[in-house]
Amino acid sequence: MVAFGQFMEVLIGGLLAGVLYSLVALGFVLIFKASGVFNFAQGAMVLLAGLALVRALDFLVSHAMPMWSAVTLGLLFAAAVMAITAWLIERFALGPLVNQDALTLFMATIGVTFVLEGASQMLFGSDVYPLRLYPTDAWFLFEGTFPGGILVNQLDVLGGLIAGVLVAGLAAFFQWTKTGRALRAVADDHAAAQSVGIPIAWIWFVVWLVAGLVALVAATVWGTKLGVQFSITFLALKALPVLIIGGFTSVPGAIIGGLLIGAGEKLAEAYLGPYIGGGIEYWFAYVLALVVLLGRPQGLFGERIIERI
Amino acid sequence: MFKTMLALASAVVGVSTLAAPLLADGEQFLPALVYRTGPYAPNGIPFADGVADYWTLVNERDGGINGVKIVHEECETQYATDKGVECYERLKGKGPTGAGYVSPLSTGITFALTEKVPGDKIPLLTTGYGRSDSRDGSVFAWNFIAMGSYWTAADIAIQHIAKELGGFDKLKDKKVTLVYHDSPYGKEPIPALELLAKHYGFIYKGVPVTHPGLEQKSQWLSIRQDRPDYVLLWGWGVMNSTSIIEAAAVGYPRDKMIGVWWSGAEPDVTPAGENAAGYKALMLQHPAGKFAVHADLEKYVVSKGKSVAHDNFAQVLYNRGLINSMIGVEAIRTAQGKYGNKPLTGEQIRWGFEHLNLTAERIKELGFEGMIKPLKFTCQDHQGADQARLHQWDGKAWKIISDYYTAEENLLAPMVKETAAKYAKDKGITPRDCSNQS
Amino acid sequence: MLYREAGQFKASYSADMAIFPIRQDRMALYGLLAFAFVGVPLLATLHVWPFDDDYLLRAILIPFLILALGAIGLNVLVGYCGQISLGAGAFMAIGAYGAYKFATGVHIPIPWPIPWPIRWPIRWRLDGPLGGPLDWLDVAITLPPLPVLSSILLGGLAAALVGVLFGIPSLRIKGLYLAVATLAAQFFFDWVFIRVKWFTNYTPSGSVAAPELNFFGLVVNSSVERYLLCLTFVMVFAFMVKNLVRGNIGRQWMAIRDMDIAAELMGIRPLYAKLTAFAVSSFVVGVAGALWAFVYLGAWEPLAFNIDRSFQLLFMVIIGGLGSILGSFLGAAFILILPILLDQVPYALGLPLSVETVSLTVYIVTGALICCLLIVEPRGFARLWSTAKEKLRLWPFPY
């Protein structure tokens, strides 16, 4: 019974941790879906959004503003920063690179990553800034059944809820708004979409903006977890296996991929790790993703790759 | 194909020759390998500020070391080994006599430079980090691991645990888990802990955390299941605060956690907020807060607007930077006693390090009373001191909670000797004979 | 005017197929090689500007040459065969640790009496309670410490073997999916070299130091000697790779790159072509890794070969020009030297900027320049170079 309780604890913890990765992976998916750009800068965008938010909050709170209005204003400020960033990226980096091959676009986003990492630290500082928006305590469930109960972190649950709301919101946005439909049209075939009068530059700006806002949401959760600091950019590397398991083009795939990766890596660390020395979760996630890809080269929910001569 | 390269290369050199006239002849050049950006910046900035401010203080208050002004130049390493090596190569030859000594504040860069400094004849000052076996000055003639190694840190942490438990005999069958940064830095204490575990009969377990340590859920869930009596934390950067947050999340008592002195500064606890209250860490002898030297700093450096520090003034790592610079400056002063009051070469300063004797009176004169204990390097002993104490974060500030402990040299010295001898054998170094040197 | 090929007749097939068919190119190359092999060492020994201290050699030219070699290796895979790899750092690490093991003596215990399924997990459990040399098991493969040159080459070979293994998924996974999948190799080997103490000869911290660089009795120590060593390696491998890509196998790689299904229909075996590309690429990258560790760093930990190194090499390949040896050199020069140069500009100009500002500005400028270059010429420096050469041919009378 104890063993089962421990297993459940690791499993639940892993699933929830995975959803937090999904928050970052979602940004990748949105941009890849709409423009075929593999956006490595997502991690840097989380850093920028987090720094903008936390620095604005610090400033406002130190000027005796009540917490709630400070949070609202801070979020608005960070959103504005992300909007400007989205416009700059679209206008100066990726707009001129339309129709280049995927590798070039990928490299361009790494260039953007450098710029964002430099600029965000220059504007907002390179120290560590604590952010406390959500509770970080834990619940202990089923304490009667299992000794010590099953530990569930409140922040992780909240992160999961936020991710769920975000996915539902994005689905609704894609399904029912005019911009959302235009976005799907661009994703299918941007030349065709342009020919029926969809303003493609605007659509791409919207995509980068939405990805920026997703980054902001991710930053609130991860910033509370870690404190806002440069290391947050490494999240991009934790999100990549999530992304390839789910498929580059699937929003629900990012969530499912997150669940799989999270549970897989935590279980591996807890049950396989002690035998081979521990610290394996980092590569285990990638190996898991590799194994899935061997079965389905487009990821679990990605669009089927059709090759013609 | 080399044209572009050569053009760029000659531009580089053109640039560095342009820079040369800035250095006057009668000045001592000291390089500073710092990291003010990148993943470890929150910890790198206060240390670098302390280092720079103390040098400024020496120039402003005393007009230099016995009249020899210090000029320094910083180079950004971002904690990366190859960048650190490049910085070292860039700065080692500057100034009239070349770099006086280097302090990279990174275990990785320390390892790489350990191979290079004997050839360049520049001493390597690593205050409380680097190779634990570099204490053996007969093999590591150019390394000075001042004030403490990770092995002495491990021993002192265990001594404190024994004291809390009420005696070394109580350690038997207690579980002590080490949560460590999975790199040479984090792995350095393991041999010492294994040895101590065998000696005192406690059960040691190591839990690695992959760089940079953003995600530690599985590690802390295993700790929750394992319920060790104490957790030692050997982290750096984001890993420290994440460990404390995760410990709070799994309900592990923070006052049973003891960090090494690189896991016991303000950037490590502030992100965890009130969850960090109760967390303990070793001190590299000195605490946070203001001492006599800070009054001088405020008078000669801060008030003149020459300080590079912001809100990290008198924080733990800032103070450590001050001490690092102070040891270097005093070594130069010692060397000047033999070679004269002029800019000295690295080789001469090495002599100064090896004969540095910071007595309690001298420490008081320098304004460091209450921060550190006396320190004395010899030809054989390049560590100079083995004391440390502990402090605890009460949610707002670090509070000192223990007296000085002295590391159990009977246990550690053979290990230092053995690994240093192995290194000497691998590298074909004949250890110096220290018995006839004063 | 000077750069005309008029009057240069090719009287044989071999002349027609020369690597540098134009005489002026050949002359320039010979001049450069002579300068690199004789001029630079001479200037450095005489301490003539810009070689008046060994900063230029040690901190710029040596890493430049080694990374150019790495970029050449990666270019085989990414540029010629079209398989995107983010695992180059791992293969450098395999080369480095492999060479280290061969140079310090290999000792692999083989516990014969134990059947395979049990033996395997035990063999890997080196950090746990069974840690320490497995000498209690009776049989072992033991190699004496090998000379440095053969160690470096064997390190490359080890990388090639692992490269083939990690190349197998490329038969099924393509494009960016493959790129992310190669990260599995990167993170796996980061972990292996930290965790498996056998690779680091059981040093307590897991950081290892290079053995003495003894080439047939000649000890390479000074920066000039180190530079010449790297230069020799780079030149040999550059010509080897250049000839490989001009031959049958290179053409197969390029066919796979341009369209793998069409290539397959034409009778090119993707298995053979892709895996040879992985093998050759990993071999060269592995040798570069061994040099990076032995010649440049001297002592290293796995962090020296982390994912940043992989990205750095990929950048060199792409900025330099996919499918170009010359591009690998240009890309390496740009990516390595530009940040170092930018870092020193404010200090040289006497601008009172903090090192933090400078370093962040370098970040921003480097990133922006990379984006600019990709926009201006997505095919990299090599393409710019050949455009310039075309222009030069017609200069000063373009039509």
Question: What residues does each domain of chain C span?
Answer: 22-52, 53-105+144-394
d(CA C278, CA B390): 53
Which of C189 and A126 is assigned the larger pLDDT? C189
Strand runs labelled E in chain C: 106-110, 139-143, 208-209, 214-215, 218-219, 299-300
Task: Extract the tokens encoding A189.
Answer: 């075939």
B246: three-class secondary structure by DSSP: helix
Helix (H) or strand (E) holding B112: helix B107-120
The per-residue pLDDT string of chain B (438 residues; one tens digit each, 9 = 90 and over) reads: 444 444 544 444 444 444 443 445 689 999 999 999 888 999 999 999 999 999 999 999 999 999 999 999 999 998 998 899 999 999 998 888 999 999 998 988 999 999 899 999 999 999 999 888 899 999 999 999 999 999 999 999 999 999 999 999 999 999 999 999 988 899 999 999 999 999 999 999 999 998 888 888 889 988 988 899 999 999 998 899 999 988 988 889 999 999 999 999 999 998 888 889 999 999 998 999 999 999 999 999 999 999 998 789 999 999 999 999 999 999 999 999 999 999 999 999 999 999 999 999 999 999 999 999 999 999 999 999 899 999 999 989 999 999 999 998 888 999 999 999 988 988 888 999 888 665
Which of C64, C211, C297 lies at the smallest CB-CB distance from B81? C297
Chain-centre distance for alpha carbon B170: 32
Q: Is B342 left (phi over 0), alpha (psi -120 to 50) or beta?
A: beta
**At CA A105, angle to CA A104 and CA A110, rounded to 5?**
95
Which of A264 and C8 is assigned the larger pLDDT? A264
Q: What are phi and psi of C143, to 5 degrees?
A: -115, 140
d(CA B198, CA B188): 17
CB atoms A111 and C367 under 8 Å: yes
Q: Does residue C56 sit at the B interface (CB-CB below 8 Å)?
A: yes
> CA dist C44 to B17, C37, C228, Å?
16, 11, 12
Per-residue confidence (pLDDT) for residue B24, from 0 to 100: 52
Write out chain A residues lying below 8 Å of C268, CB-based: none
Residue B176 near residue B232, CB atoms below 8 Å? yes
pLDDT at C121 over 80: no
Q: Does residue A271 sit at the C interface (CB-CB below 8 Å)?
A: no
Q: Which residues span the domain enclosing A265?
A: 2-295
Per-residue confidence (pLDDT) for residue C118, from 0 to 100: 54
Per-residue confidence at A306, pLDDT binned at 50, 70, 90? confident
Residues 6+ apart with CB under 8 A from A49: A78, A81, A82, A212, A215, A216, A218, A219
CB atoms B182 and C49 under 8 Å: no
Question: What residues does each domain of chain B span?
Answer: 23-149+289-386+417-427, 150-287+389-411
CB atoms A289 and C184 under 8 Å: yes
The 10s digit of each residue's pLDDT in A89-131 is: 999 998 888 888 888 899 999 999 999 999 999 999 888 898 8
Q: Does residue A230 sit at the C interface (CB-CB below 8 Å)?
A: no
Architecture of domain B150-287+389-411 in this structure? 3-Layer(aba) Sandwich (3.40)
Beta bridge mates, C142: C107
**Residue A302 is assigned to a structural domain of this protein:** no
pLDDT at A2 over 80: no
d(CA C182, CA C169): 9
Our count of domains for chain A comes to 1
DSSP secondary structure letters along A114-164: HHHHHHHHHHH-SS-B----S---EEEE-TTTSTT-EEEEHHHHHHHHHHH
**Residue A304 is assigned to a structural domain of this protein:** no
Per-residue confidence (pLDDT) for residue C137, from 0 to 100: 47
CB atoms B75 and C32 under 8 Å: no
Write out chain A residues lying below 8 Å of B222, CB-based: 269-270, 274
pLDDT at C363 over 50: yes
Q: Which range, of A39-48, A269-278, B19-28, C132-141, averages the lowest pLDDT?
A: C132-141
Which of C304, C347, C381 lies at the smallest CB-CB distance from B82? C304
Q: Which residue has the tokens 């634990």?
A: B132
Q: Spell out a b/e string for B399-421, using b for 16 or more CB atoms within 10 Å of the CB, else e.
A: eeebeebebbeebbeebbbebbb
Write out chain C residues lying below 8 Å of A297, CB-based: 172-174, 177
Alpha helix positions (H), B201-315 = 217-226, 238-249, 266-269, 292-297
Per-residue confidence (pLDDT) for residue A273, from 0 to 100: 84
- A vs B, Cβ pairs < 8 A, gives 117
Chain-centre distance for alpha carbon C257: 20
Q: Does residue A113 sit at the C interface (CB-CB below 8 Å)?
A: yes
B interface with A, Cβ–Cβ < 8 A, is 36-39, 41-42, 45, 182, 206-210, 212-215, 217-219, 221-222, 224-225, 237-238, 241-242, 245, 248-251, 267, 270-273, 275
Residue to test with chain B: of C195, C200, C359, most B Cβ within 10 A: C359
CB atoms A126 and B38 under 8 Å: yes
d(CA C60, CA C333): 9
Q: Which range, of C36-50, C144-158, C281-295, averages the lowest pLDDT?
A: C36-50
CB atoms B218 and A273 under 8 Å: yes
The 10s digit of each residue's pLDDT in C276-291 is: 999 999 999 999 999 9
Residue to test with chain A: of B215, B236, B308, most A Cβ within 10 A: B215
CB atoms A119 and C181 under 8 Å: no
Which of A197 and B14 is assigned the larger pLDDT? A197
Residue to test with chain B: of A24, A57, A117, A126, most B Cβ within 10 A: A126
Task: Extract the tokens encoding B73.
Answer: 């130049």
d(CA C382, CA C318): 10
Strand runs labelled E in B118-217: 124-125, 143-144, 175-181, 203-209
Q: Does residue A282 sit at the B interface (CB-CB below 8 Å)?
A: yes
- Looking at this protein, which amino acid is placed at residue C112? W
Same fold, B23-149+289-386+417-427 and B150-287+389-411: yes
Percent of chain A with pLDDT over 90: 48
Q: Does residue A285 sit at the B interface (CB-CB below 8 Å)?
A: no
Please name the residues between 136 and 175 in chain C that touch chain B, using a CB distance below 8 Å. Answer: none
pLDDT at C355 over 90: no
d(CA A226, CA B42): 13
Per-residue confidence (pLDDT) for residue B22, from 0 to 100: 45
CB atoms A111 and C356 under 8 Å: no
Per-residue confidence at C112, pLDDT binned at 50, 70, 90? low
Residue to test with chain B: of C303, C334, C364, most B Cβ within 10 A: C303
Q: Does residue A1 sit at the C interface (CB-CB below 8 Å)?
A: no
How close is the nearest chain C Cα to the Cα of B288, in Å? 24
Q: What is the CATH code of the structural domain delimited by C53-105+144-394?
A: 1.10.3470
The verdict on domain B23-149+289-386+417-427 having CATH code 3.40.50.2300 is yes
Look at residues B26, B20, B28 and name the one whose alpha carbon lies nearest to residue C347: B20
pTM of the model: 0.90
d(CA A278, CA B12): 45
